[in-house]
Structure 1
Amino acid sequence: MHTTTLHTVTGPLSHEAVRGPALAHEHLALDLDLKGDGAAVLDPRRHGPSVAAELAALRDEFDLSLVVELTCRGMGRDPGALAALSRESGVAVVAATGWYYEPFHTPELADASVERLTGTLVREIEDGFGDTGIRPGVLGEIGSHGDLPSEPESRSLRAAARAASATGLSVATHAQLGRGGLAQLELLTAEGLLPERVSIGHQDLLDDPGVHKELAASGAYVAFDTVGKESYQSDGTRLRLLLSLIEAGHADRALLSCDISRHGYLLTEGGQGYGHLFRSFLPRLRAAGVDDDLVDLMTRRNPLRFLTGASVEEI
């Protein structure tokens, strides 16, 4: 099941309307503040104007056309704020549903069966978030940590796979520090989800080209989605890993983004901002010999194909 129409926070959008690049894994409003220090927060009331201004500037300078916003249940999701940010910036936004990794699981996961969790997700996909009328357009970022998902994480992943198959959406994962991606993919596909409807997250944090090539060869997307987060991994290493994947013939499986997940990453607070991919990383990629067509493939066509399930010929 696939469609070439995206479900955005402001309504349906044809893939043909997305003429410029997409950011495949970002956060525009979230609250991951387990420590109580307020760092891992993007509060729409305080930080929304800065977020909207960055997106609008990227639309003007680089034709940024779409943001895949992967804040889900337990992460401080705010669909209404996403719709306001989308309208203010002029950039389309796809919102998400599902459950993050175990430290952020909501109480509903405690003793719920996979069937019950699947029903929760399908209802939200079909009916929208509460009474907002806003529908999710992707399942993500469905999380696990370590080399194997925990028992609750396994139920969450299985429910996401079943809900994706039932509704025609795709699944984007959170693989903590890049680990456990192959186990995630095995679990998701065991539920009948096609690999090409899966994006395995944070693979640029895993310095293992063999794993990246195995994921890509299966048909899954390989997300290099923390570009610019130098405290986790250098962009030099990211560049080497991505070039290795491209040289192996898998540019059609790569997704790129910055995963802005705290207000300190915003430009107004001295951070790298949502534009780091375009202003810093892509120029380095081009200098290494990657041409504009491959850049367009990785930043526009791949995200659209991932979200819709459309074939190479269709997009």
Structure 2
Amino acid sequence: MDHPAPGTLRTVTGGLDTASVRGPVLPHEHLALDLDHRGDGAAVLAPDRHAAAVTAELTALREEFGLSLVVELTCRGMGRDVAALGRISRAAGVAVVAATGWYYEPFHPDEVTGLDVEALTAVLVREIEDGIGPDGVRPGVIGEVGSHGDTPAPAEAKVLRAAARAALAGGLSVATHAQLGHGGPAQLDLLTAELLPAHRVCVGHQDLLDDPGVHRELAARGAYVAFDTVGKSSYQSDRTRLRLLLALIEAGHADRALLSCDISRHGYLTEEGGQGYGHLFRGFLPELRAAGADDDLIDLLTRRNPLRFLTGASAEEN
């Protein structure tokens, strides 16, 4: 299988040279998804109803902050719509990376139950090779591959192992969903046991886990540590997120932190009174600057780190 060329990302509109990404990156977002298992329509970003609002937010962030790239982690069983991602990307003028993989167990489609690790790997490899949907959009990342609890359930372990194997075959990185921040070390154990290098793993939702020791452990092993629910105050205060991020930076791991907002339902859109995709730039980063972060650190956290994660590059390469 051909891997992405060095320094090149696969986006929904084609290849993108990382050297052209001059502005910030949102490494864990959703632009179109459907996680509505309750029938209340809340956990939805439906393209036919919400695409205009999503596009308007991304356009404004490009114009105000130079937003250059969004990593869209809606995968199989989550209502993925790569055609909608392409329309949003073109209209907003912001590059978008699409994903493949499986979310955590409550959202697994039936195919996960009926397939073993080898067959699941083959499903992902086909999408990486041939693309998603009739337009053949090729994913640029695997994720968000999920688990819940301190140890992945058997079905979750199966999809994590398949994700690692497909990532190795396709030259991609893996972004995880660690429910409420738990289980990150076990996820990393499973992925690296399949010989996926730790620097090709981003462990998700660590800003929901108030345990700096776990964050240091993950970073010291070489994985990226995602503070990716910024602004979701019902889960965690930004004050706590800032404290946890500063602790990781002070421990010498600034090059392993990723920041994003994980907008995952229409109620989070600014049009509906939510914090929006821009909360990172308008709310959280000013607090980080007030705590002493300079322009170089902000650029590291919001541009260089996510690009290194996606490409597998070393710190010296961008």
The alignment's TM-score, normalised by the length of structure 1, stands at 0.99
Shift of 1:133: 1.8
**3-state DSSP of counterpart to 1:12:** strand
Aligned length: 315
Question: Which AA in structure 1 matches 2:179?
Answer: Q
Would the aligned equivalents of 2:82 and 2:133 in 1 still touch at CA under 8 Å?
no
The aligned residue for residue 254 of structure 2 is: 251
- 2:134 and 2:215 map into 1 onto residues whose CA distance is 40
1:264 corresponds in structure 2 to 267
Of 196, 200, 203, the match for 2:199: 196
Pairs within 5 Å for 1:192-231? 192-231=195-234
| Counterparts of residues 7-86 of structure 1 (less than 5 Å) | 7-86=10-89
Please report how far the alpha carbon of residue 229 of structure 1 lies from its aligned counterpart in structure 2 after TM superposition.
Answer: 0.1
Matched, 1:95 2:98: yes
CA distance in 2, matches of 1:25, 1:17: 20
Alpha-carbon offset, residue 28 of structure 1:
0.2
CA distance in 1, matches of 2:244, 2:291: 12
Are 2:189 and 1:179 aligned? no
Q: How many angstroms apart in 1 are the aligned matches of 2:134 and 2:233?
A: 40
For the residues of structure 1 that align with 2:281 and 2:184, how far apart are their CA atoms?
Answer: 26
Unaligned runs of 5+ in 1: none
1:138 is matched with which residue: 136, 141, 144? Answer: 141
Q: Using the alignment, how far apart are the partners of 2:220 and 2:191 within structure 1? A: 16
Deviation of residue 176 (structure 1)?
0.1
Aligned residue runs from structure 1 range 225-304, under 5 A? 225-304=228-307
Deviation at 1:310, TM superposition (A): 1.1
Q: Distance in 2 between matches of 1:16 and 1:127?
A: 26
Q: CA deviation at 1:111?
A: 2.5
- How high is the sequence identity, in percent, across the aligned residues? 75
* Alpha-carbon distance in structure 1 between the residues aligned to 2:314 and 2:222: 12
Structure 1 residue identity aligned to 2:115: A
Paired with 1:301 and 1:126, the residues of 2 have a C-alpha distance of 27
Aligned to 2:128: 125
**Equivalent residue of 1:131, what SS?**
coil
Deviation at 1:63, TM superposition (A): 0.1
In the TM superposition, residue 21 of structure 1 has moved relative to its aligned partner by: 0.3
**Residue in 2 that maps onto 1:105:** 108
1:130 Cα deviation from its structure 2 partner: 2.7
| TM-fit CA distance, 1:312 | 1.5
- Which amino acid in 2 is paired with 1:208? D
RMSD: 0.8
Shift of 1:314: 1.4
The CA deviation string for residues 4-31 of structure 1, in whole angstroms up to 9 with x for no partner, is: 1000000000001100000010000000
1:77 partner amino acid = R
| TM-score where L is the length of structure 2 | 0.98
1:107 Cα offset (Å): 0.7
SS of the equivalent of 2:119 reads helix
1:136 deviation in Å? Answer: 0.4
Q: Which stretch shows the higher mean deviation, 129-138 or 254-263?
A: 129-138
Which SS does the other structure have where 1:77 is aligned?
A: coil
Structure 2 residue runs of 5 or longer lacking an equivalent are none
The amino acid that maps onto 1:203 is: Q
Structure-2 separation of matches of 1:45 and 1:16: 34
Partner of 2:163: 160
**What is the one-letter code of the residue matched to 2:139?**
P
SS in 2 for 1:123: helix
Q: Is the 8 A contact 2:11 2:95 kept in 1?
A: yes
